[in-house]
Amino acid sequence: MAPSAEPPRPLALNAVDSTPNPPAGASLALGLSVSAWPLLQQLQRSGHTDRVGLTPVAASALGTTPGDILVGTAGELLADQWRKGEATIVVGALGAVTRLIAPLLKDKQKDPAVIVLDANGQHIVPLIGGHAAGAERLAHELAASLGGKVVLTGDAASQQRLALDAFGEAWGWMRGGAPEAWHELMLQQATGRNLTVVQKSGTDIWRSSSAGQAFGFTPEADIGSALAIGSRSDSAPCRWHPATLWIGIGCERFSSLELIERAVDACLQASGLALEAVAGISSIEAKGDEPALLHFCEQRGWPLRLLSAHALAEVTVPTPSAVVMAEMGTASVAEASALLASGHEAQLLQTKRIFHAGSGEKGAVTVAIAEAAQALAPQRGELHLIGSGPGSLHLLTADAREALSRCVIWVGYDLYLDLLEPLRRSDQARLDGQLTRERDRCSQALDLARQGARVALVSSGDSGIYGMAGLA
């Protein structure tokens, strides 16, 4: 593997039967009465919230108020959460919460998630931000952890349809398209209209879920395409973008940040490629200490993959340069690094373009763009190692239930997955493996997690003793 200026972030590993490590939930759990206090403590202990809060009346009823509790009116605490754009779990009456948040509502695409629970944690209602803010996902995780029931009234959930405006996040994809277009798409789905999805990149395993089988599919865009999955920004009004694009960059020493930004954005726009589909930046090892390049990658949140001159020289490119060969030891930096970072079966979508410094800029930058056959977004992926226990669902741990709820794809021996099947939702897919093929199943799970998906790798018993944890 090529060296990197910044080590890749590890996958989120969660061996739920041996080392509970629940994913982060809401930043605040708020109780409207003192009866909420036991549940608030439970939510904090389980990692579903960073902080807990009570109203002044509820806090006074405790007698001695712990120092780490936020005390304030419900309206003030909720307004503060709204300003931060952070999710809130509220333990209290649904009507009271509705009245409290009504003045705060602005835009369904921007409003934070609000989940309402009764004091026993038996009824969990994703009140606001069901899709865009992830309230439905968090509600399912809470229900799995608390043994409660999610109360869903949205059309997609109640009809067991795929939430087209949210499902791609769990596969590691990023959304593109105007909010108005997504609103129109969801209205079309609600009418029962047959929708066609164009998919050019990213895993197609999602289609095997029962909810994913309700669509027509085509590899090429047409007028009737409602949704596109791929790297292009002009393929459909609504799009999900797997991280498949590698941008190769060569530059003069001390080229300015502004020039690199302009060059990359211009190339993406000219090629009709989506910013959201970028997996990372690649270049030659000699640029590993280039200040503007490092700053650019950090600013965009893109990994930088650095490649040796010898490796780049082995790559066949359409526009080699004798000048670059003489200076760098390879006839290509931008095109060769984009192709090499993209791996086997890469396609060069944008041949190199050279950008010279404009007003207030300095240096020169060369940019090329290639597309990988497989997405790479390990920073978004999760691998949860789940032991199914003795076999009965009643004996399955709360952590395992929660992780299964969170994961969009379950990988395991078919008999073990069959035991868990009653817990699988219509939007979740499964990959059945054969007995004695543990290495293959483990490889599949790791591969999907590297692509950005939330993956459950299932084995029987305790995953850390008899199962897949050691192999993973």
Reported pTM: 0.82
Distance CA 20, CA 403 (A): 10
The two three-digit tokens of residue 63, written as one number: 């007698």
323, burial (CB in 10 Å: exposed 0-12, middle 13-18, buried 19+):
exposed
Average pLDDT, stretch 27-41?
Answer: 94
Distance CA 42, CA 29 (A): 10
The pLDDT value recorded for residue 222 is 65
The two three-digit tokens of residue 169, written as one number: 């996040």
Distance CA 248, CA 106 (A): 40
Q: Is the pLDDT of residue 20 over 50?
A: no
The pLDDT value recorded for residue 79 is 93
Nearest-Å Rg of the Cα atoms of the chain is 25
pLDDT per position as a tens digit, 349-393: 999 999 999 999 999 999 999 999 999 999 999 999 998 888 788
Secondary structure class of 5 (helix, strand, coil) = coil
Strand partners, 278: 245
User: Which amino acid, residue 230?
Assistant: G
Distance CA 464, CA 324 (A): 52
The pLDDT value recorded for residue 32 is 95
Going by C-alpha positions, the residue among 333, 331, 330, 296 that lies closest to residue 310 is: 330
Distance CA 108, CA 24 (A): 22
Q: Is the pLDDT of residue 197 over 60?
A: yes
Q: How far apart are the first and last CA of the chain?
A: 19
Going by C-alpha positions, the residue among 404, 439, 437 that lies closest to residue 421 is: 404
The pLDDT value recorded for residue 70 is 92
Q: What is the phi-psi region of residue 21: left when phi exceeds 0, alpha when psi lies from -120 to 50, beta otherwise?
A: beta
pLDDT per position as a tens digit, 216-258: 887 776 666 789 999 999 889 999 999 999 999 999 999 999 9
Contact 29, 51 (CB under 8 A): yes
